[in-house]
Amino acid sequence: MGWRIVLKIRRLFGKSAALCAALLLAFPIVAADSETVNNLFEAALQSIYPPPATPPEVAEAICLQCKGTGQVRSRFQNKATPAPQKQTSRYQTRLDKSKDFMVPCNECKGQKRYLRKLTLKERLERFHACRRQYDLEHAKLCHLPFGQAYVALGQLDALDPETFARLAAQFPGLCETCHGFAALPCERCDSFGRIEKTNQDQDDVLPDVRIEVCTTCDGKGEKPCKRCDGSGLLKRCRRCKGTGIARKAATKKRPETLERCRSCEGMCRR
Ligand SMILES: [Zn+2]
Ligand SMILES: [Zn+2]
Ligand SMILES: [Zn+2]
Ligand SMILES: [Zn+2]
């Protein structure tokens, strides 16, 4: 098809015109405009291996109230139980404990597992499992980390600093302490928000157990991450103010040039 056009041009306009047409056919000229920059960005985006999706907040999981046994003490039916009054007679305590039999757990309706909001600890565990798999996969292929993602070796080397920074902003590095969750699990209650208290001061077989709201985290099961101030991300690079770009001032010989910030390597955060 192309050659027929060239032959037609030769017949109409002569040899030199035909040569130009042939060259144009072989090497189409690409204009460098905003569309090209966008295409450049899109093409670079295609070369990124995005991180796995964050684990869901709600999922089927083991019941925390009965620890997956499906049964609880009759007294635990209603989450937090008030502290027993101190001046109960021994007889009264015995009577209370005699009522302490096992019943189906009201939280999971005796199902052991049910659909519920996961605790931060559980979400972190799921996150790390996904992430380990993802890291391993890309380490095997010798891919380089790019923020929270990966990229094949040398893929972005030729990219101009501005497009590189725009791309880096799409995959900001995660805070190394909270891994993007902006909070840490409460250690006292294991992220459950409630704790079991046992008083075994009596000679009874069944210890006196009650469930209380964790006072360390106020029942939330988590505490805010101080390292990232709740952003869940690495801090913005101070040297380039989070732009990822270093400007080299113009001299008499050459105009101003842009470079990737050396401190954050153009990633905007570090
Ligand atoms: Zn249960
Ligand atoms: Zn953090
Ligand atoms: Zn707690
Ligand atoms: Zn920087």
The per-residue pLDDT for range 39-68, each reduced to its tens digit, is: 899 999 999 999 999 989 999 999 998 889
pLDDT at 50: 96
200 is a domain residue: no
pLDDT at 87 over 90: no
Query: Phi and psi for 67 in degrees, rounded to 5?
Result: 55, 35
**Residue 90 included in any domain:** no
Stated as kind and residue range, the H or E segment containing 48 is strand 48-49
Mean local confidence (pLDDT), 109-131? 95
136-161: b (≥16 Cβ within 10 Å) or e: eebeeeebeebbbbbbeeebbeebeb
121 Cα–ligand 1 center, Å: 18
Neighbours of ion ligand 1 (CB under 5 A): 63, 65-66, 105, 107-108
CA 213 to ligand 3 centroid distance, Å:
8
Could you tell me if residue 94 is inside a domain?
A: no
Q: Which residue has the higher pLDDT, 9 or 174?
A: 174
| Closest among 196, 188, 198 to 221, alpha carbons compared | 188
Residue 116 phi, psi dihedral angles, 5° rounding: -150, 170
Whole-model pTM: value is 0.74
Distance CA 153, CA 140 (A): 12
Whether 9 is covered by a domain: the verdict is no
Residue 4 pLDDT grade (very low, low, confident, very high; cuts 50, 70, 90): low
43 inside domain: yes
What is the 25 CA–ligand 2 centroid distance (Å)?
A: 55
Q: Tell me, what DSSP letter sits at residue 119?
A: P
Alpha carbons within 13 angstroms on the beta-carbon side of residue 252 total: 0
Asked if residue 64 belongs to a domain, the reply is no
Name residue 4's amino acid.
Answer: R
Structure confidence at residue 31 (pLDDT):
45
Structure letter (DSSP) for residue 162: H
In the block, which residue shows the tokens 């964790």?
A: 214
When computed from its CA atoms, the radius of gyration of the chain, rounded to whole angstroms, is 32
Least reliable range by pLDDT among 27-41, 129-143, 178-192: 27-41
- On whether the CB atoms of residues 124 and 182 are closer than 8 A, the answer is no
In this structure, is residue 115 part of a structural domain?
Answer: no
d(CA 59, CA 67): 16
| Rounded-to-integer distance, Cα 177 and Cα 192, Å | 20
> Tens of pLDDT along 155-196?
999 999 999 999 999 999 999 999 999 999 999 999 999 998
Residue 146's nearest CA partner among 76, 6, 44 is: 44
Range of the domain at 248: 38-57+130-181+228-270
User: pLDDT value at position 34?
Assistant: 78
| pLDDT exceeds cutoff 50 at 29 | no
Which band of pLDDT confidence, cut at 50, 70 and 90, is reported for residue 18?
low
Whether 6 maps to a domain, the answer reads no
Distance (angstroms) between ligand 1 centre and the Cα of 217 equals 22
Domain count for the chain, please give it: 1
Distance 265 CA to ligand 2 centre (A): 21
Average pLDDT, the chain: 84
Q: What distance in angstroms lies between residue 261's CA and the mean position of ligand 4's atoms?
A: 5
Of all residues in the chain, the percent with pLDDT exceeding 90 is 60
